[in-house]
């Protein structure tokens, strides 16, 4: 019976599947980055609006004591966006939603807040608070509210890159798996071809061995050395076929 082996279509299908997985991974990655970027942009706008409202509440608290209860409620609602309030001399007056340990020394706390303030200055422009005399509404100074991304927004900003890394690892593992599968299948094909070749050689070798015996018994052949050399070659072929 004729042995059957995988055709070239098998390798072509494997190759096509590998490219399909790569294309799907790229589409998923690009789509994830695109939509996450849109979401991050909207959250940035929303957080800036919240900080603006927070700054206006501080401004109203300073300039209008009669609506203190309303502005204090607005201020208390900011429980996620880190902020620092400074005066025109860049002195820190107030901070919110920063991980300040109560056990820190005053110097350590001040250094931490200064580092956070420098980071906020590089992240977003400040929101200005205009100070006015309540009775005359005359401007007598300014304060500034600095802020940076909330923890949630920071996570969303980093998330696409983590996802890209995971997809890259997945793609690399998939590539290795397909490559290993293809090499293993090729090895099986070569082993099958070798066995089939050995099987096909078995019959003529047996026939040649029989003819050698016939020639040995033939009294008309005087040069027996040729027969012995042929016998050695046939035995070598037989040894090769027996290995498979």
Query: How much is the pLDDT for 66?
Result: 53
pLDDT at residue 220 tops 80: no
pLDDT tens by residue, 79-95: 788 999 999 899 998 88
pLDDT at 70: 46
Q: Which residues contact 11 (CB under 8 A, 6 or more apart)?
A: 182, 185, 186
CB 200, CB 3: distance < 8 Å: no
Rounded to an integer, what distance in angstroms lies between the CA atom of residue 201 and that of residue 194? 11
Task: Give the list of residues 6+ apart from residue 178 with CB closer than 8 angstroms, or none.
Answer: 14, 17, 18
- In terms of average pLDDT, the best of 9-18, 142-151, 157-166 is 142-151
Q: Where are the domains of the chain?
A: 83-148, 185-242
User: pTM of this prediction?
Assistant: 0.56
Tell me the HSE value of 116 on the side-chain side, using a 13 A CA sphere: 25
Q: How far apart are CA 150 and CA 172, in angstroms?
A: 34
Spatial CA neighbour of 159 closest among 23, 41, 32 = 32
**CA 19 to centroid of chain Cα atoms:** 18
227 CA to centre of own chain? 70
Residue 167 pLDDT exceeds 50: yes
Please check whether residue 40 is in contact with residue 153, taking contact to mean a CB–CB distance below 8 angstroms.
Answer: yes
């Amino acid at each position: 019976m004729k042995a059957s082996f995988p055709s070239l279509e098998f390798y072509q299908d494997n190759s096509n599947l590998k490219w399909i997985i790569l294309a799907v991974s790229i589409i998923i990655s690009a789509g994830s980055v695109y939509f996450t970027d849109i979401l991050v942009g909207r959250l940035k706008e929303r957080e800036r609006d919240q900080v603006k409202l927070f700054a206006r509440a501080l401004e109203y608290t300073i300039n209008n004591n009669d609506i203190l209860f309303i502005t204090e409620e607005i201020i208390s609602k900011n429980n996620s966006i880190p902020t620092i309030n400074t005066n025109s001399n860049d002195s820190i007056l107030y901070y919110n939603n920063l991980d300040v340990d109560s056990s820190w020394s005053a110097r350590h706390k001040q250094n931490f807040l200064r580092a956070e303030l420098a980071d906020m200055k590089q992240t977003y422009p400040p929101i200005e608070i205009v100070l006015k005399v309540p009775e005359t509404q005359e401007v007598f100074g300014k304060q500034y509210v600095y802020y940076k991304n909330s923890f949630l927004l920071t996570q969303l900003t980093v998330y696409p890159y983590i996802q890209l890394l995971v997809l890259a690892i997945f793609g690399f593992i998939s590539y290795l798996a397909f490559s290993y599968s293809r090499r293993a299948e090729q090895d099986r094909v070569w082993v099958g071809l070798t066995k089939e070749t050995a099987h096909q050689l078995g019959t003529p070798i047996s026939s040649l061995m029989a003819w050698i015996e016939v020639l040995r018994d033939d009294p008309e052949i005087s040069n027996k050395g040729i027969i012995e050399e042929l016998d050695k070659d046939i035995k070598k072929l037989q040894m090769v076929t027996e290995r498979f």
